[in-house]
Structure 1
Amino acid sequence: MSDASEPYTVSAEFYDLLQAEPDRRRAERRFAGAARRATLAVVEVGAGSGIVTQVLLAAAAVPVHAVEPSAAMRSLLLSRLASVGADRRARVTVHPDPLQEAGLTETADLVVASNVVAGLDPAARRAVWKAVATTLAPGGLLLFDPPPPALPADREKVGTLGPVRVGPDHYLADVSRTPDRGIIRMEFSYRVERDGRVLRREREAFDLWPAAPDLIAEELTAAGLRLVQAPEPDLMAARRPG
């Protein structure tokens, strides 16, 4: 068993097998409609492995900016982009720095953040809202899935990913979350099995910061964004006035 010294170094190996297709379907439901209506550019905050990036490129006719500071996830992102057509690949720019340092002032009429906001501590979250307000053109739209509104009462199992078969082996992961001094520890316990034996175990945990919707709305307003009706019930949305 090993623990990651840098975020995603463990999960990057297992992500495509266990999570890619459900995440793709979710991204299409959440973001494809808004991407089709974009007329300037689309910015993705925390592009990760590139699943959402692919959905945005397929739906939008405008440039897409994929912001991903993690080297481990950026390697998956670039591998995925290598498989898209040259015309789509020509429309995407990969930014290895945080949004605050990407220099995308009034670049986009759509910013999306999928599975990102919960992983930001409050100061980083507020900084991202300000960067989004700078990135959006007047009237531009932000779509994101909000963080958990509160801590769980105790350790709880979220679910199981897989199993997925690769030759004689089965890949799977148990996902749990635990309250820990005001944050949530989201743990992925991966294992590879063959003939009923566990060949390998790996584990990676991520810190999540809960925040009630009213607090998120206050932060967005303070950053110069206006809360609006989201297109899907599991999203929040805001616009830059103008």
Structure 2
Amino acid sequence: MDDTGDYTVSAEFYDLLQAETDRCLAERRFSGAAARARHAILDVGAGTGIVTEVLLRTSGVPVHAVEPAPAMRAALLSRLAQLGADQRARVTVHPETLAEAGLAAVADLAVASNVIACLDPATRRVTWQEVSAALLPGGLLLFDLPPTGLPSGCESVGRLGPVRLGLDLYSADITRQFHRGVQRTVFTYRVEREGKLLREARESFDVWPAPPERLGEELEAAGLHVVEAPGSDLMAARRPDC
């Protein structure tokens, strides 16, 4: 099975292989800003809800979780169902793109984790505009940086797992390659039992590199001023106070 970019393959394996790493990253990257939020937080591309859960736990404000992919949203809602009543009352799931959600002046913090690199340049520019519209004056945007260049050939990125469930071992190999002017990242998932391969599935995602200078120009064009980020793996921009 080999699909491209709709998460129908990856959703099954995502939390098992990536949740703990992603949770640690989210706590380091976003918990401080979330604790300072006073109105609401926008989670752009909430995925299976790992970041959403961190934002809810470290803040006391409403969270708007935007996730258009049905497979990931199913996992997101399952995760939210396990939370306490107070946290569930503070989170709203938007089952469409940010542009379709039409959020206006609702949040003083927006985060986008593992999202921006997966947007083509035109969609990325629209996303900045929609984030700017969703932020209150003085609101802050935090996101992780896309790669700055393209791979020269097929490269191994690394491996996720293995993680044992009963008799089975789950793992994923990640590669990236140049593909029609973009970077294509391929996840090959495997389930093995007693050394034998039970099943294998692949899903690929296109990634659009962009240097920080270009991102800064796009953000400024959308009315967001680049500011110092809390970490070297993040970029930050703020909507002016007036």
TM-score interval (norm. to shorter): over 0.9
Match of 1:104 in 2: 103
Match of 1:11 in 2: 10
Q: Do structure 1's residue 43 and structure 2's residue 22 form an aligned pair?
A: no
- Alpha-carbon shift at residue 114 of structure 1 (Å): 0.2
The TM-score with structure 1 as length reference comes to 0.98
Secondary structure, counterpart of 2:187 in structure 1: strand
Question: Within 2, Cα distance between the matches of 1:77 and 1:4?
Answer: 21
Instruction: Give the partner amino acid of 1:102.
Output: A
Q: Do structure 1's residue 71 and structure 2's residue 70 form an aligned pair?
A: yes
Instruction: Give the partner amino acid of 1:61.
Output: G
Alpha-carbon displacement from aligned partner over 1:41-63 (angstroms, at most 9, x marks no partner) = 00000000000000000011100
8 Å contact from structure 2 (residues 4, 205) kept in 1: no
Instruction: Give the partner amino acid of 1:53.
Output: T
| Map 1:36-185 → 2, pairs under 5 A | 36-185=35-184
List alignment gaps of at least 5 residues for structure 1: none
Q: 1:6 to 1:155 in 2, by over 3 A?
A: closer
Alpha-carbon displacement from aligned partner over 1:136-190 (angstroms, at most 9, x marks no partner) = 0010000000111110121111100000001111000000100112200000001
Match of 1:209 in 2: 208
The TM-score with structure 2 as length reference comes to 0.98
| Map 1:213-228 → 2, pairs under 5 A | 213-228=212-227
Secondary structure, counterpart of 2:3 in structure 1: coil
Question: Within 1, Cα distance between the matches of 2:4 and 2:153?
Answer: 26
Question: Within 2, Cα distance between the matches of 1:227 and 1:134?
Answer: 16
Secondary structure, counterpart of 1:131 in structure 2: helix
Question: Within 2, Cα distance between the matches of 1:40 and 1:87?
Answer: 16
Question: Within 2, Cα distance between the matches of 1:148 and 1:4?
Answer: 23
- Alpha-carbon shift at residue 4 of structure 1 (Å): 2.6
Question: Within 1, Cα distance between the matches of 2:5 and 2:160?
Answer: 22
Q: 1:151 to 1:138 in 2, by over 3 A?
A: same
List alignment gaps of at least 5 residues for structure 2: none
Question: Within 2, Cα distance between the matches of 1:39 and 1:103?
Answer: 21
Secondary structure, counterpart of 1:151 in structure 2: coil
Question: Within 2, Cα distance between the matches of 1:134 and 1:5?
Answer: 30
- Alpha-carbon shift at residue 6 of structure 1 (Å): 6.3
Question: Within 2, Cα distance between the matches of 1:17 and 1:158?
Answer: 19
Question: Within 2, Cα distance between the matches of 1:94 and 1:174?
Answer: 31
- Alpha-carbon shift at residue 5 of structure 1 (Å): 6.4
Question: Within 1, Cα distance between the matches of 2:98 and 2:198?
Answer: 40
CA RMSD of aligned residues (A): 0.9
Q: Which runs of 4+ in 1 moved over 6 A?
A: none
Question: Within 2, Cα distance between the matches of 1:101 and 1:111?
Answer: 17
Question: Within 2, Cα distance between the matches of 1:201 and 1:52?
Answer: 28
Question: Within 2, Cα distance between the matches of 1:155 and 1:230?
Answer: 32
Secondary structure, counterpart of 2:191 in structure 1: strand
- Alpha-carbon shift at residue 97 of structure 1 (Å): 1.3
Question: Within 1, Cα distance between the matches of 2:5 and 2:173?
Answer: 20
